[in-house]
Structure 1
Amino acid sequence: MSTALHAVTPARVLRAEWHKLRTLRSTWVGLGLTVVLTLGTGLTIAASYESGGGDDDIDTVLLVLLGMQFTQVVLGTLGVLTTAGEHSTGQIRATMAAVPRRLPVLWSKAAVLGTIGFLTVLATNFLTFPLAQTFLAGTDHTASLTDSGVARALVTNAVGLALLGVLALSLGSVLRSVPAGIGALIGLVMILSEVLALLPYAIVDDAARYFPGKALEALTHADPRPDLASPGAALLAMALWTAGSLALAALLLKRRDV
């Protein structure tokens, strides 16, 4: 009975990872910054917007959620800290001693971070958009949640950013270093796709559409652009990037010493 009472179960591992995440100051700082940057940037842009000012061709949802440029770094950093932070403090040894199979820890970290990231971004998006529209009323970017593609873009943006957070978590597990994990994330999300798009090869340009940075941009468009992937393809690309990084992290977690 005592063995059963203290048995390691998926639910207990999940609860333990949720407890660790919610007791870290960095978690609440990161989530708070996500809300503040998204809302603050969206309202600032909306309040200063004037029709004919050169931003008329920007998708309305993307315009309002331009704070995503900052929040993807914030959520990505939080993801890296979730795994690499444990390695830097040595806490990972105690974690793996409690869960010798190891992989349930990785799955639980990913599930907890992905869920809390998605819910935070989703709630912030659906708060930011209607508030921004109070400033955009009567301009070229007047829109409502019931307009075609708007609600979908707000949701897919949240899904994409949550997946990005899990991808960053995987990078942190693979590299076991907070600076290296953040550097790899910024290089993959913000730099690589932009560099590839500059190369004079059509096949490279097409491939760049499915890198995380461009895929996130596509997921934040209510009206898909021809030079970006479709929302469905972009969502699939983000899911594959995340799944691939998680698979690599799982393989190395099983093979390496903690």
Structure 2
Amino acid sequence: MFQTIRRILIKSLLWFMAGSALLVLVLRWVPPPGSALMVERKVQSWIDGTAIDLQRTWRPWAELPDDLKIAVIAGEDQKFADHWGFDIAAIRAAIEHNQEGGNVRGASTLSQQVAKNLFLWSGRSWLRKGIEVWFTGLIELFWPKQRILEVYLNSAEWGVGIFGAQAAAKHHFGIGAPYLSAHQASLLAAVLPNPRKWSASRPTAYINRRATWIRRQMRQLGGSHYLNQLSASKPQWLVAVLGK
């Protein structure tokens, strides 16, 4: 009986690995129709009895403003162009901080956030974290950095029911995503740690200070020139093998 259970578990694991790898590979070219986080928010609204209107419109890379791209990198993951999905130094710092008590600090890269938002559920558990590591590895293996950022900007949550840069720009500023200014982009990036609590269109003093800091970081990173480091055609493993 135990051998039978073992065979079933091994086969299930292999099917999961193959299926998830195929799914991530397909999504390198096909825009995701939604995300697991969107499904979770909708189901939660049914449970709570609170209506929620999910808003999301896909915008391709060329229509997403450079200011928003670099603002998100500046605010969330300044080593995005260089890491393979995980910022080891940030993870160690977060572990040390959390062991000291107080507020729990995260260290998720943009790649990890894409993996979590697109495929997984919220909450903290070793199982979810392990699956997140698997999907993050697949994303870094199959997708170029530009694709990761493109999917992130079209999947990030920017308010209750507001997903993606286009819906965020419409909701907070009444304009399309391509017309966001550097100031507006920095405000959107500033609220990302807690977009259901903070508002880019009604920023607190803290959010305004954080947005100012993000704009300063955007300049220090090199602005749009930083985006040239994000290869449009080669995932990280190919960069390592073939060179830039």
Structure with the higher fraction of residues in helix conformation: 1
TM-score by length of 2: 0.28
Bigger Rg, structure 1 or 2: 1
TM-score by length of 1: 0.27
